[in-house]
Chain A
Amino acid sequence: MSLISELFGKSPFSALVAHTKKVHECVKLVRPLMEACVREDYEEIHRLQDAISKLEYEADQVKHEIREHLPRRYFLPVDREDLERFLHCQDNIADYAQDFAVILLIRNTKIHPELVEEFLAFVNQILKVSDTLLAAGEELDDLAESSFGGVEAKSVLDRISGLGEQEWMADRMQRKISQHIYHLEKQLDPVTIMFYEKMLHTLSEIANAAENTGDLLRAMIVK
């Protein structure tokens, strides 16, 4: 009856923060997975893969809910396409984390002792990138409150701008590990090398997705 009761739709921002937190939980399991692989604790890998799979599914559900409540007639403070691409890209982070778990699960791959430290360092770098991005994403509520302007927006944008460099360092580390692997190729069987490459590729995809998500978050803020 009253005009103003029809004016408002559901805010997507708290749901976006919830999605970011779910993705963050997925990514947090990557390091335990790597450590379990190094220890050759295959039961732990199995358990962690189950956990990640469940979290990834829950993130998907949040994503679908957000999409459902954003019909065209609602005008948003950010560009709608940027928001959808951001959501899609952030969801990819969780997807790649889950892919990594599956790779570790389907074959009991042993990590060559000389490569252990580099692999762990690489995982740390990847997680640095994704943690930076996800911490920024969890501030969407505050960004909306301060209307995407002022000190809050500036601080988030500053943090995102560091993502590019961090991702570049991750790329460098990946190249170094690959070189080291081919150094040791006489000591390794081809299938193991294949799986090392798959692991490296999936991990670097996590960082790439995080960097792209950061770009879209910047686009959303700046509009």
Chain B
Amino acid sequence: MTLLVIGITAVLGLYMAWTIGANDVANSMGDAVGSKSISLRNALILAAIFEFCGSTLVGSHVTDTVRQGIVDPNALSSAPAVLALGMACALLGSALWLHLATWWGMPMSTTHSIVGAVAGFGVVAAGWRAVKWGMLGQIVASWFISPVAGAVAAFLGFRLIVWLILGRERPADSAIRVWPYIVFIVALVVTISTLCDKALTERVPALKDCLSGRRALILSLFISGLCGLGARLFIARHFRDYDGVSLHEQLSRVERVFAPLVVVTSCSVSFAHGANDVANAIGPLAAVVDIVRGGGQIKMQVLVPMWILVLGGCGIVLGLATYGHKVIATVGDKITQLTPSRGVAANIATATTVLVCSRMKLPISTSHTIVGAILGVGLARGLAAVNRNVTKSIFGSWLISVPASAALTILLFLLCRLVHLDEVLRNIIVPAALR
């Protein structure tokens, strides 16, 4: 019977992960596909690989926040079944809200939905004390800070690109020279997020020796260096020197030189997105699994079980494989202004911001961060016409998504209580001796 409970919640989690994969793949791969740097099919394959890796390798941090960082499990220690029910309702409620929002054409964020949902049921189930308002405050603050951070990072990054490449006498040649360093930086960000992680050594004790202390950092630098070297070889083979070509010609070749780089950076964004957003689907699932396994005692495991992370990763991959191509196709035409040189700046800024927030265990909206990054490039005079009113949509998303998702979840939760589903659950989860 307990398996049934876990199974149903897992299906809900998988469904939520599917939604995340379907909708968000355009954010990471949209500019690569739109600028014709890569075919749609290959973009989806790469996105699938990197989303899965991001989810499984780095996804545990934010998952931990969603599972026990918003609603304090100890506040419900006397009624673990309620906590489990609430988490399941949160999944269903936010998935429903996401569908409604899509249907009504409103901007939506998977992160805002799930955080609102979990906080919502927490308040209803066990009063105001049940919610860790301090943590929630930090999370909401990060929703403001992450787009701004993305904007600042992209602004500075693009200024650097202009100084090092676009503003030079031979931009295409400068691009070829700077290429390997950009790959190095991207690889460094990704490897540091993955390897410099205490949780990783605890999960795989075999790696404890080679990843302790400074060694993880050095290993990251080494791997990134290898990536940089590989990049230099790649570019030597594919791009000849553009000597003796006019400035005008050089500028029109620069984007072609940047095209493979935009693919590499888009992969890092996919990785970062998987790391941060998989939690939206499997955080509640992880909570339910811990409660059921704990047999009535709320005792959150230190590490999020691997199979849950894998499930989330698979859900995201399924989502982007089955539905993602439609979303990218719609978006791809409209963002042709984000040429490779601009896309690289925006992508690196986004991936870094999202990965930093993921390691700080903060669930943020990757789409908002990307919008911030693009606005940052626009402020650096890199884009011809940027819609200022998008910021209104961002605020709208915050003001609507959180309460709407919370309301739906509360409704579902109260409905379940009405039909005594919480008692049924209690009978399943808590062994007779402890009731």
Binding site for B on A (CB under 8 A): 1-13, 70, 73-78, 139, 142, 144-153, 155, 223
Binding site for A on B (CB under 8 A): 23, 26-27, 30, 102, 105, 107, 158, 162-163, 166-169, 171, 247-248, 251-252, 254-255, 327, 330-331, 334-339, 341, 367-368, 370-371, 374-375, 378, 380-390, 393-394
B residues near A149, Cβ cutoff 8 Å: 162-163, 166-167, 381
Known: A145-B251, A150-B167. A4 touches B27 (CB 8 A): yes
B151: shortest Cβ distance to chain A, in Å?
Answer: 13
B residues near A77, Cβ cutoff 8 Å: 378, 381-384
B248 touches which of A2, A142, A150, A223 (Cβ 8 Å) = A142
Contact check, B387 vs A4: say whether CB atoms are below 8 A apart: no
Contact check, B384 vs A146: say whether CB atoms are below 8 A apart: no
A4 touches which of B30, B158, B378 (Cβ 8 Å) = B30
A76: shortest Cβ distance to chain B, in Å?
Answer: 6
Contact check, B380 vs A8: say whether CB atoms are below 8 A apart: no
Q: Which 6 A-B pairs have the closest CB atoms?
A: A150-B167, A11-B384, A9-B385, A77-B381, A74-B385, A146-B166
Contact check, A7 vs B162: say whether CB atoms are below 8 A apart: no
B384 touches which of A3, A4, A76, A223 (Cβ 8 Å) = A76
Known: A4-B26, A8-B387, A75-B378. A151 touches B331 (CB 8 A): no
Contact check, B385 vs A76: say whether CB atoms are below 8 A apart: yes
B residues near A1, Cβ cutoff 8 Å: 23, 102, 105, 107, 327, 330
B340: shortest Cβ distance to chain A, in Å?
Answer: 11
B386 touches which of A3, A74, A144 (Cβ 8 Å) = A74
Known: A7-B335, A7-B374, A145-B251. A2 touches B26 (CB 8 A): yes
A residues near B107, Cβ cutoff 8 Å: 1, 3
Contact check, A152 vs B251: say whether CB atoms are below 8 A apart: yes
Contact check, A7 vs B384: say whether CB atoms are below 8 A apart: no
B residues near A139, Cβ cutoff 8 Å: 248
Contact check, B387 vs A6: say whether CB atoms are below 8 A apart: yes
Contact check, A2 vs B331: say whether CB atoms are below 8 A apart: yes
B residues near A153, Cβ cutoff 8 Å: 167
Closest chain B residue to A221, Cβ basis: B381
User: Whole-angstrom distance between the alpha carbons of A223 and B379 in the complex?
Assistant: 12
A residues near B386, Cβ cutoff 8 Å: 7-9, 74-75
A14: shortest Cβ distance to chain B, in Å?
Answer: 9
B267: shortest Cβ distance to chain A, in Å?
Answer: 18
Closest chain B residue to A8, Cβ basis: B337
User: Whole-angstrom distance between the alpha carbons of A78 and B382 in the complex?
Assistant: 10
Closest chain A residue to B333, Cβ basis: A5
A residues near B247, Cβ cutoff 8 Å: 142, 151-152, 155
User: Whole-angstrom distance between the alpha carbons of A2 and B22 in the complex?
Assistant: 11
Contact check, A144 vs B367: say whether CB atoms are below 8 A apart: no
Contact check, B251 vs A3: say whether CB atoms are below 8 A apart: no
Contact check, B23 vs A148: say whether CB atoms are below 8 A apart: no
A residues near B105, Cβ cutoff 8 Å: 1
Contact check, B384 vs A144: say whether CB atoms are below 8 A apart: yes
Closest chain A residue to B379, Cβ basis: A75
Contact check, B27 vs A73: say whether CB atoms are below 8 A apart: no
A residues near B162, Cβ cutoff 8 Å: 146-147, 149-150
User: Whole-angstrom distance between the alpha carbons of A189 and B398 in the complex?
Assistant: 79
Closest chain A residue to B254, Cβ basis: A145
B residues near A150, Cβ cutoff 8 Å: 162-163, 166-168
A8 touches which of B102, B252, B255, B334 (Cβ 8 Å) = B334
B186: shortest Cβ distance to chain A, in Å?
Answer: 20
B residues near A145, Cβ cutoff 8 Å: 166, 251-252, 254-255, 339, 341
A152 touches which of B27, B167, B334, B341 (Cβ 8 Å) = B167
A11 touches which of B102, B368, B385 (Cβ 8 Å) = B385
Contact check, B331 vs A5: say whether CB atoms are below 8 A apart: yes
A residues near B158, Cβ cutoff 8 Å: 147
User: Whole-angstrom distance between the alpha carbons of A7 and B392 in the complex?
Assistant: 12
Given A7-B375, A147-B381: 4 more A-B contacts, CB < 8 Å: A2-B367, A3-B368, A150-B162, A151-B168
Contact check, B388 vs A3: say whether CB atoms are below 8 A apart: no
A70: shortest Cβ distance to chain B, in Å?
Answer: 8
B148: shortest Cβ distance to chain A, in Å?
Answer: 16
B400: shortest Cβ distance to chain A, in Å?
Answer: 14
User: Whole-angstrom distance between the alpha carbons of A10 and B385 in the complex?
Assistant: 6
A residues near B388, Cβ cutoff 8 Å: 73-75
Contact check, A2 vs B23: say whether CB atoms are below 8 A apart: yes
Contact check, B330 vs A147: say whether CB atoms are below 8 A apart: no
Closest chain B residue to A14, Cβ basis: B384
Known: A150-B168, A151-B168. A3 touches B394 (CB 8 A): yes
